[in-house]
Amino acid sequence: MTIEQTKVNRMLTRGVVYSIIWLAGLGSCYALHQGILARRLINENPALEGNGRAWWCIIVGGVGAAAMFLVVGIGIFNAMIRP
């Protein structure tokens, strides 16, 4: 196993764990970030494995981050409406 493959595996392992552990949306944002970085590395070097896990991090992290922004947006909206 090459150094690059080890780096991608560690990134994606952290990404999958943080996508599952939502941490008020921050874990999802981190998973999204790790997925995008890993996907970029995989595109640069097609011999690297982990494309499916990278997409998992991107999709699940993106959904969790969108949920965080929705919750924060609703909270701000409700705070502005109430006198």
Residue-wise pLDDT for 38-81, tens only, equals 999 999 999 999 999 999 999 999 999 999 999 999 999 999 98
- The angle formed by the CA atoms of residues 28, 77 and 29, to the nearest 5 degrees, is 10
The rounded distance, in Å, linking the Cα atoms of 50 and 3 is: 14
Please indicate, yes or no, whether the overall pTM of this predicted structure exceeds 0.85.
yes
Residue 36 CB partners (closer than 8 Å, separation 6+): 58
Number of domains composing the chain: 1
For residue 70, give its domain range. 3-81
Nearest to 60 by CA among 52, 72, 71, 48: 52
